[in-house]
Structure 1
Amino acid sequence: MAKSEATSVNRRSDIISAAIEVFAEAGYYRATTAQVAERANISQPYVFRFFATKEKLLLAALEVSWSRVIESFRQVVETTSPELLEGKLIQEYENIQAMYQNEMFLQMQAQTIREDAIQETMRNGLKGVRDMVLAAFREAGIGKPEERTMLFLARGMLCNVAVAINLPELMKG
């Protein structure tokens, strides 16, 4: 990769990271690309060089957040024995939640945005996680894998709510 390409990739990544923070803090509708540019220490036109619209920037941020979850789960699946799999996946999600809380808040907000492209990105992300966990549970010989997958995902959603509203009792059990 040429130096200018690497710089572009890094700048794009910086913009997405700034957008995740700004969208998580202000909400998608209140956030502006000017705020994202300021957070990334660049000019607003430079944001538009990479992302033609605020929606395209949100879509990229969501894709990054879903990719992080899927890749983290993939690593757990590839390195964990079947009898420890579900517990290790839960632990990994708790780690992701702690390290990338703004991404979790971003996903929670995006669930309520009715734009088709955003809904599709959310469906694809959650489906990717579901499909990976279901396949891993089946491969591990976990009984009732569909039900266990649904409960795993439900627990993750409940943990998201617990963190968002600061009600840690919801995460016990």
Structure 2
Amino acid sequence: MAKSGTASVNRRVEIVSAAIEVFAEIGYYRATTAQVAERAAISQPYVYRFFTKESLLVEALEVSWQRILKAFQQVIERAEPAELEIGLIRAYEEITHSHRSEILLQMQAQTIQEAPIRDAMRKGLGEVKQLVEKAFEQAGIADAAERTSNFLARGLLCNVAMAMDMPELMKKR
């Protein structure tokens, strides 16, 4: 029976991965679960065995936020205080390159009004804010709350620069 449970978990992961790609490419509202199923090479009823379209987006968002939290936690555990912020920036830049669809998905989700989706976005961003601010405080960074807000704002600008293929937005003068 454990083998069947593992297969179900793997299938859920495959469905969520396919949904991230499909939603990022064509948008949540235009995308269908049939398109997600096709990308995952399964049947649409099998998608519905695990998810509604909305719950699929929520799970995809949770995956994306967990990736960021895990990457940031790894930096926090090994970075010297003076290198903390640059380490977090590099980790986020790596995510925007290696998991672009997840970032595009988060950007789209910022405009979606359905409560479960807004809740997933609030929760994810709130956890990132809390993690970064606590790390800045523990590193002795002055004005940790303000530096955290600036860090998050720069991350959002990074998202826009990536999405619009405008790297000049991120160049330092």
TM (norm. structure 1) is 0.98
* Residue 155 of structure 1 pairs with residue 164 of structure 2: no
SS at match of 1:142: coil
Which residue is 1:86 aligned to?
Answer: 85
Gapped runs of 5+ residues in structure 1? none
* Residue 76 of structure 1 pairs with residue 75 of structure 2: yes
Distance (Å, rounded) in 2 between the aligned partners of 1:150 and 1:70: 16
User: Which 4+ runs in 1 deviate beyond 2 A?
Assistant: none
The percentage of counterpart residues that share the same residue type is: 62
- How far is 1:140 from its partner? 0.3
Distance (Å, rounded) in 2 between the aligned partners of 1:172 and 1:88: 18
Distance (Å, rounded) in 2 between the aligned partners of 1:56 and 1:119: 12
Which residue is 1:169 aligned to?
Answer: 168
Which residue is 1:36 aligned to?
Answer: 36
Gapped runs of 5+ residues in structure 2? none
Task: Write the letter of the residue equivalent to 1:35.
Answer: Q
Distance (Å, rounded) in 2 between the aligned partners of 1:159 and 1:104: 10
| Equivalent residue pairs, number | 172
- How far is 1:97 from its partner? 0.5
RMSD after superposition: 0.8
Distance (Å, rounded) in 2 between the aligned partners of 1:4 and 1:80: 41
- How far is 1:79 from its partner? 1.0
- How far is 1:117 from its partner? 1.0
- How far is 1:9 from its partner? 0.7
SS at match of 1:31: coil
- How far is 1:2 from its partner? 1.2
